[in-house]
Amino acid sequence: MRPFEFRRALDAADAVAGLAGSPRARFLAGGTNLVDLMKLGVETPEVLIDISRLPLDGVEETDAGGLRIGAAVRNTDLAVHPLVRDRWPALSQAILAGASGQLRNAATVGGNLLQRTNCVYFQDTSKPCNKRAPGTGCPAVEGAHRDLAILGASELCVATYPGDMAVALAAFDAVVHLLGPDGRTRTRRRGGRLRASPGADRRHLPDPPPSTTTPWSRTPHSFCAQFAEVQVDTDTGETRVRRLVGVFAAGRILNPRTARSQLVGAMVMGLSMALREGSHIDPAFGDFAEQDLAGYHVAASADIPDIEAHWIEEDDPHLGSLGVKASARSASSVPPLQSATPSSTPPAPASVNSPPPRRRAGRHGCDAAQQGVTPAHELLALLSLQE
C-alpha cells in the first residue's frame, strides 16, 4: 500500500488551496471511482482532500427557471428530485441508467463528471497508455477496443467517457462553475475541457425548452411471462420441473435461432437459482454456508423434459430503425441484439409457487418465501399442511 496524507477541507477555498499546493493531490467525495483506481495503482495520490462534508449538496431553482446543482449532490438524490424528474427527465433517466443503486447512493455529481475512462489498457498499469502515461502509445487502437470510440477520436487515444449523466447535461447546455485557486469562479460549457485542478463548485442547468418537459418517457425493457409444471415426491421431497414455458416481448428478433438458445439457456439457469441456490448463515461462524460450487448442482436442459421459449412480434417505432431491445445493463455482457436476463429471474417464482396440477404427487400449494428448494424444505412444508 502506498502511503498518502488525508485532509478534511474546512470550506471550498481550503479545498482548492490544498489541491493547488500539491500536484498529486486529489479530491475525495464518494470515492466510487478514485478508490478503485487507487487499488489498481492507476491513481497514486500523495494527498487526499475530503470534501464530502462541505455544504455543496443543494439543488435549487434559479430565478431564470434553471437549476443549480451542488457538486456534492448524490446521484440518487439528483435523479429523484421532483424538479429534475418533471422538467429534465432525460437527466434523471441518464443517472438511473448508470452503475448500481449502491454506487449511485455514494457517488456525487462532481465526481461523476471527473470519472476516468473504463478502457482496459488505462486500468492496467502493465500496459502502455497515452492517457495514463503520455507518450507511451495507445494499444487500444489496434487491440481490444470494444465499446471505445469510433468517431471523434484520434490516433493517440480512442478511450471514451464512461458515464451517462454528462451526456444529458451536455444535451441541456449545462454550465459548470469552477472555483479557482485565486478565488475567482470560472465556467465551462460544452466543448470545454473540465480539469480536476480547480474545485468544481456547482452545475447550472438552463430552463429547458418546452419539448423536454413532456411528462412521459419510454424505456426499452424486455418483458416475459413464465409458467412451470412442477412435481414433488411426497415421500422424499424431491422436486422435478416437468415443463417450463416462457413467452417474451423483446422487440424485433433479428436471429431467431440465437435468441431461442439464449432464452432457453437463461430459463435453465434461473431454474438452478430457484431449486439449488441459497444464502444460509452458519450460526457457529457467522459466515455463508455456501462458499463454493461443490454442493451446487447446475441444471441442464436435460433436467427439464419439456422447455419452450416463444416471443411476441413487436413493432415499436420508438425503438429506432432496428426495433431491437436489450434489458438494463446486461447488454454489456450479452450481445444487445437480444439479452437473456429477463428470462433468468422468473423461473424461481414460477417453479417455487406453482399451483398443484392434476397429477400424482402434485405441488403442495403453499408459497415458499425462500429459494433453494431442497427436499428438506419440501418435506417441512408437507408436514405443516398435514398439521
Amino acid, res. 205: L
Write out pLDDT tens, residues 32-85: 999 999 999 999 999 999 999 999 999 999 888 889 999 999 999 999 999 999
Query: For residues 268 and 301, is the Cβ–Cβ distance under 8 A?
Result: yes
Record the cell numbers describing residue 337, joined without a space.
441484439
Quick check: 387 pLDDT over 80? no
Asked if residue 117 lies in contact with residue 43, where contact means CB atoms within 8 angstroms, the answer is: no
Asked if 233 and 225 touch (Cβ cutoff 8 Å), the reply is: no
Q: How many CB atoms lie within 10 A of CB 96?
A: 17
Q: How far apart (Å, rounded) are the C-alpha atoms in residues 340 and 273? A: 15
Alpha-carbon distance of 205 to 84, in angstroms, equals 10
Nearest to 225 by CA among 247, 244, 250: 247
Report pLDDT for 171: 87
Distance (Å, whole) CA 27 – CA 354: 53
Q: How much is the pLDDT for 80?
A: 93
Per-residue confidence (pLDDT) for residue 38, from 0 to 100: 93
Average pLDDT over the chain reads: 77
- Rounded CA-CA distance 197/387 in Å is 71
Q: What is the mean pLDDT of residues 375-382?
A: 68
Residue 121: predicted pLDDT: 94
Q: What is the mean pLDDT of residues 2-21?
A: 91
pLDDT at 29: 93
Higher pLDDT, 331 or 271: 271
| Digit-coded pLDDT (tens) for 177-218 | 888 888 887 776 654 444 433 344 556 667 665 544 443 445
Length of the chain as a residue count = 387
Residue 355 has pLDDT above 80, yes or no: no
Per-residue pLDDT, 367: 45
More confident residue, 98 or 114: 114
Which of 124-138, 270-284, 352-366 has the highest average model confidence (pLDDT)?
Answer: 124-138
Identify which has the larger pLDDT, 189 or 92. 92
Q: Which helix (DSSP H) or strand (DSSP E) does residue 77 occupy?
A: helix 75-79
Cβ atoms within 10 Å, residue 135: 7
**Strands, DSSP E only, in the chain?**
5-8, 25-28, 47-50, 59-61, 67-70, 175-179, 185-188, 199-205, 223-232, 239-249, 306-311
* Helix residue spans in 172-313 (DSSP H): 256-276
d(C-alpha 361, C-alpha 235), whole Å: 9
Q: What is the pLDDT of residue 64?
A: 86
More confident residue, 180 or 368: 180
Confidence at residue 208, expressed as pLDDT on a 0 to 100 scale: 64
pLDDT digits (tens, 9 = 90+) for 130-186: 999 999 999 999 888 888 888 888 889 999 988 889 989 888 888 888 888 888 877
Closest among 169, 226, 219, 221 to 192, alpha carbons compared? 169
Percent of the chain having pLDDT more than 90? 30
Give me 228's grid cell: 412451470
Residue 341 pLDDT grade (very low, low, confident, very high; cuts 50, 70, 90) = very low
Question: What pLDDT sits at residue 365?
Answer: 46
Q: Is 107's pLDDT higher than 60?
A: yes
Dihedral sign of CA atoms 122, 124, 130, 133 in order: positive
On the 0-12 / 13-18 / 19+ scale of CB atoms within 10 A, 319 is: middle
Q: Which of 56, 3, 52 shows the shortest CA–CA distance to 27?
A: 52
Q: How far is CA 173 from the centre of its chain?
A: 26
What's the mean pLDDT in 342-353?
60
Give pLDDT, residue 234: 77
In sequence order, what are the beta bridge partners of 108? 74
DSSP bridge partners of 227? 245
Please state, in angstroms and rounded to a whole number, the distance separating the CA atoms of residues 167 and 172: 9
232-279 pLDDT tens trace? 787 887 778 888 888 888 777 888 888 888 888 888 887 777 766 666
Q: Is the dihedral of CA 123, 4, 74, 341 positive or negative?
A: positive
Indicate the SS3 state at residue 362.
coil
